[in-house]
A and B are shown apart, each in its own frame.
Chain A
Amino acid sequence: MPDRAPSPTQLATLLRPLIRRATNIAARDVIPRAQQAYGAAREGFEAATVRILGDDFDARVAELRERYQGGDPFGLDPDTAKLALGIVSVFHRAYFRTEVHGLENVPKGAVLLVANHSGQIPIDGMIIGASMFLDHDPPRVIRAMVEKWVQTLPWVNVLFRSLGQVVGVPENCRRLLQDGEAILVFPEGTRGISKPFSRRYRLADFGLGFMRLAIETDTPIVPVAVVGAEEQYINIGNLGGVARAVGIPSAPIVPQWFIPGLQMPLPTKYRLYFGEPMRFGGDADDDDSVIGEKVELVRQTIQALVDRGLAEREAVFW
Chain B
Amino acid sequence: MKEQELSSGVLTREEEPQEGERRREERRSGGRREADRSHTEILLARMQSGPVAITGICGRLGRRLARQLHRERPVIGLDRRPFPDRPKDIEFHQIDVRRKKAQDIFRQGELAALVHLGVMHDPRGKSEEHHSWNISGFQKILEWVGRYDVPKLVLISSSNVYGPRPDNPQFLSEDVPLLGGGSFSDMRDLVELDMLAQSFFWKRPDIETVILRPSHILGTVRNAPSNYLRLKVVPTLMGFDPMIQVVHQDDVVQAIRLALEPGVRGVFNIAGPRPVALSHALKLLGRATLPLPHGIARRGIDRLWRLRMTSFPAPELDFIRYVCMVDDSRAREQLGYEPRFDLEQTLRAVDDERWV
Contact = CB atoms under 8 A, between A and B. Distances in A.
A304 B160 CA distance: 48
A181 to B, nearest CB: 13
B170 A71 contact: no
Interface in B224-257: 237-243
Given A151-B167, A167-B169, A169-B167, A71 B274 contact: yes
| Best-surrounded residue of A70, A74, A154, A172 (most CB of chain B within 10 A) | A154
A264 to B, nearest CB: 24
A74 B167 contact: no
Interface string B146-188: 0000000000000000000011111101000000000000000
A199 interface: no
Interface string A65-109: 000001101110100000000000000000000000000000000
Contact of B274 (A70, A156, A167): A70
Given A74-B170, A148-B166, 10 more contacts: A71-B276, A73-B170, A75-B243, A161-B241, A167-B166, A167-B168, A167-B170, A169-B168, A170-B169, A171-B171
Nearest to A159: B239
Nearest to B293: A154
17 contacts: A73-B171, A73-B274, A74-B170, A75-B275, A148-B167, A151-B167, A151-B322, A158-B239, A161-B241, A161-B243, A161-B277, A166-B170, A167-B169, A169-B167, A171-B171, A172-B170, A175-B170
A183 B243 CA distance: 20
Contacts of B168: 167, 169
B294 interface: yes
A149 interface: yes
Given A71-B276, A73-B275, A154-B294, A169 B169 contact: yes
Interface string A156-168: 1110010000110
Closest 6 CB pairs of A and B: A154-B239, A151-B166, A171-B169, A155-B239, A148-B167, A169-B169
Interface of A: 70-71, 73-75, 77, 148-149, 151-158, 161, 166-167, 169-172, 175
Contacts of B166: 148-149, 151-152, 167
Contacts of B237: 154
Chain B interface mostly: loop
A150 to B, nearest CB: 8
Contacts of A169: 167-169
Contacts of B239: 153-158
A169 B173 CA distance: 13
Contacts of A71: 274-276
Interface string B266-299: 0000000011110000000000000001100000
A191 to B, nearest CB: 20
Given A148-B166, A154-B239, A75 B171 contact: no
Given A151-B166, A169-B167, A157 B274 contact: no
A175 B329 CA distance: 12
B281 to A, nearest CB: 12
Nearest to A156: B239
A158 B170 contact: no
A157 B240 contact: yes
Interface string B43-84: 000000000000000000000000000000000000000000
Given A71-B274, A167-B168, A154 B173 contact: no
B103 to A, nearest CB: 44
Contacts of A171: 169-171, 173
| Best-surrounded residue of B166, B242, B277 (most CB of chain A within 10 A) | B166
Contact of A73 (B238, B241, B243, B322): B243
A154 B243 contact: no
A155 B243 CA distance: 14
B169 A172 contact: yes
Contacts of B170: 73-74, 166-167, 171-172, 175
A175 B170 CA distance: 9
A158 B166 CA distance: 12
A158 B274 contact: no
Contacts of A151: 166-167, 322-323
Nearest to A173: B169
Nearest to B274: A71
Contacts of B274: 70-71, 73
Contacts of A155: 238-239
A70 B277 CA distance: 13
Interface string B77-115: 000000000000000000000000000000000000000
B179 to A, nearest CB: 14
A71 B274 CA distance: 8
Contacts of A175: 170-171
A157 B323 CA distance: 11
Contacts of B167: 148, 151, 167, 169
A188 to B, nearest CB: 20
| Best-surrounded residue of B173, B242, B293 (most CB of chain A within 10 A) | B242
A259 to B, nearest CB: 30
A74 B169 contact: no
A167 B324 CA distance: 13
